[in-house]
């Protein structure tokens, strides 16, 4: 095989682009002992999300076991807790 060893050459690669959208995430809460492939989702279950900026988000999961969408200008680590509060039907979850 031949290679042109004469003169400098430049390679170029496209630079990846990232959107300027804020960081946003919804979390799925499921009961212990269930994996991603067979998760028993915690529907209408109370939760609390504590973010490293000191803010707290609380609510009930939706019919798919998802929390509300948490949006911030940048990514944060968070601590998520499923609470033992009573659900909207008065039953302990």
**Alpha carbons 60 and 83: distance in angstroms, whole number:** 10
From the CB of residue 91, how many other CB atoms can be counted at a distance below 10 Å?
8
pLDDT at 90: 47
pLDDT at 74: 76
pLDDT at 13: 75
Query: Over 60: is that where the pLDDT of 53 sits?
Result: yes
pLDDT at 1: 57
Nearest residue to 67 via CA among 47, 81, 87 = 47
Query: Over 70: is that where the pLDDT of 76 sits?
Result: yes
Query: Over 50: is that where the pLDDT of 40 sits?
Result: yes
**Which pTM was predicted?**
0.61
* Average pLDDT estimate for 6-29: 74
Q: Calculate the alpha carbon distances from 58 to 5, 22, 25, 46, 82 in Å.
A: 64, 20, 14, 7, 10
Q: Are 66 and 38 in contact (CB under 8 A)?
A: no
**pLDDT higher for 29 or 16?**
29
4 is written with which tokens? 């042109």
């Amino acid at each position: 095989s031949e290679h042109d060893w004469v003169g400098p050459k430049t390679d170029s690669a496209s630079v990846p682009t990232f959107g300027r959208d804020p960081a946003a995430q919804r979390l799925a809460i499921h009961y212990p002992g269930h994996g991603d492939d067979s998760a028993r989702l915690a529907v209408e279950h109370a939760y609390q999300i504590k973010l490293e900026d000191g803010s707290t988000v609380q609510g009930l999961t939706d019919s798919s076991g998802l929390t509300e969408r948490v949006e911030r200008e940048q990514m944060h680590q968070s601590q998520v807790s499923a609470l033992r509060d009573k659900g909207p039907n008065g039953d302990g979850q």
